[in-house]
């Protein structure tokens, strides 16, 4: 029994000595501490976007008849005025010839009536009736010409052809869809912005500043040209709390097509922003915290609010002051209220070591 008590006492003594040694080692370790820094910088925000051609229209048959000829191919670039489709014009040719003959006949009648009226053979009233008949014939001839022109479908602008909805020889009714066509020389890119961000952007617009944006394509490459936000829709979407912006991008190489998607990247300036390294933070239940060193060198956790995120840095909206000392490294080695020894590193030096380009 005595041996058991001695062994137990010895074991307790060893454990106590071991714990004291570990606690002493923990206190003696020196940690790196820094402070928030204020500076002007920029962050970027991404918005899912839809890419639309500046013109995207449907080409439809204006007259009924058989589709006699297709002069273009799907996906082809066509010039304004280029012949695209020919509807069988036999009926309209006959109508045009008939109207032309009628106009010629009535013109001769009118000219004869004019000669007779000048000789006082017929009255001015009869001459006026002959003139009205001639004008009616001329109008009918113009209508026949218009109908004839409707059998020729020409490109209304420079653009790309889409898929054919009909084939050569198809019987068409008035209004049948032939294909669609897109002018992609310039693109309209639509993206939705939350209300709070809209207010900041609207303030910049009122100051006369143009909102310049970039575009990340679907393959994650950056598009070569920048765009300008030119239009904001009138109303917010009550379900999402967003409002649609429209940016205009040039597309001289016709790389992008109507209907593609991408991400609009907008640069947001931050004047006199408070910045800390991301590695100085930790999360508890999706909320971000830092350890602040108090006047007794004890660690106190403090919740912070992040306004924006950059690579390796956070822009802080609230929770810290410039004079606060925050633990930079070793966050997993400490607990609340631990007293530590530390070396202070200037925040500008800390940021430079992160290889960031904050302006």
Any idea what the Cα angle at residue 334 is, between residues 328 and 340, rounded to 5°? Answer: 75
DSSP string covering 306-331: EEEEETTEEEEEES--TT--EE-S-G
pLDDT of residue 206: 62
- Which tokens in the block code for residue 82? 């280029």
Give per-residue burial for 206-229: e unless 16+ CB within 10 Å, then b.
Answer: eeeeebebbbbbeeeeebeeebeb
Query: What is the reported pLDDT for 355?
Result: 55
Asked whether 19 and 330 are in contact (CB, 8 A), the reply is no
- Which two three-digit tokens encode residue 95? 């109508």
Delimit the domains of the chain by residue range.
Answer: 29-41+272-353, 45-53+187-270, 89-150
pLDDT digits over 51-86, tens only? Answer: 999 999 999 988 788 888 999 999 999 999 999 998
* Mean per-residue pLDDT of the chain: 84
The CATH superfamily of 89-150 is Helix hairpin bin (1.10.287.470)
184's tokens? 């992609």
Q: Return the CATH class of domain 29-41+272-353.
A: mainly beta
Residue 85's Cβ-count burial label (10 Å; 0-12, 13-18, 19+) is: buried
Mean pLDDT of 316-343: 92
Picking from 93-97, 101-105, 108-112, 218-222, which range would have the lowest pLDDT averaged per residue? Answer: 93-97
Tens of pLDDT, residues 180-195: 999 999 999 999 998 8
The pTM assigned to this predicted structure is: 0.66
* pLDDT for 31 beyond 90: yes
**pLDDT-based confidence at residue 37 (cuts at 50, 70, 90):** very high
| 299-310 and 287-293 strand pairing | antiparallel
Which backbone phi and psi does 105 adopt, to 5 degrees?
-65, -45
| Check whether domain 45-53+187-270 has CATH 1.10.10.10, yes or no | no
pLDDT digits (tens, 9 = 90+) for 212-268: 899 999 999 999 999 999 888 888 988 888 999 999 999 999 999 999 999 999 888
């Amino acid at each position: 029994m005595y041996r058991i008590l001695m062994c137990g006492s010895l074991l307790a003594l060893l454990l106590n000595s071991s714990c004291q040694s570990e606690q002493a080692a923990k206190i003696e370790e020196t940690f790196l501490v820094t402070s928030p820094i204020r500076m002007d910088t920029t962050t970027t925000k991404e918005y899912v976007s839809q890419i639309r051609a500046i013109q995207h229209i449907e080409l439809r048959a204006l007259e009924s008849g058989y589709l006699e000829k297709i002069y273009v191919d799907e996906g082809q670039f066509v010039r304004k005025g280029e012949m695209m489709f020919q509807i069988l014009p036999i009926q309209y040719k006959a109508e045009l010839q008939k109207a032309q003959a009628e106009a010629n006949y009535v013109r001769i009648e009118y000219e004869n009536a004019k000669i007779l009226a000048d000789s006082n053979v017929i009255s001015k009233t009869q001459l006026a009736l002959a003139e009205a008949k001639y004008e009616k014939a001329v109008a009918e001839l113009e209508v026949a010409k218009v109908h004839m022109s409707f059998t020729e479908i020409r490109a209304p602008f420079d653009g790309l052809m889409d898929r054919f909805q009909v084939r050569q020889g198809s019987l068409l009714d008035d209004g049948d869809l032939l294909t669609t066509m897109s002018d992609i020389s310039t693109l309209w890119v639509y993206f939705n912005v939350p209300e709070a961000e809209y207010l900041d952007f609207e303030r910049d617009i009122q100051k006369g500043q143009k909102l310049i944006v970039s575009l990340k394509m679907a393959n994650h490459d950056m598009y070569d040209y920048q765009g300008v936000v030119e239009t904001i829709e009138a109303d917010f979407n009550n379900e999402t709390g967003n409002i649609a912006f429209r940016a205009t991008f040039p597309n001289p190489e016709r790389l992008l097509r109507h209907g593609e998607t991408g991400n609009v990247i907008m640069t947001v300036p931050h004047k006199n922003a408070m910045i800390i390294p991301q590695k100085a933070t930790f999360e508890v239940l999706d909320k971000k915290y830092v350890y602040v060193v108090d006047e007794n060198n004890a660690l106190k956790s403090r919740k912070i609010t992040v306004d924006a995120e950059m690579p390796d840095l956070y822009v802080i909206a609230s929770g810290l002051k410039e004079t606060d000392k925050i633990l930079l490294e070793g966050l997993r080695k400490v607990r609340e209220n631990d007293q530590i020894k530390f070396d202070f590193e200037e925040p500008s030096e800390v940021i430079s070591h992160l290889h960031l380009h904050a302006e």
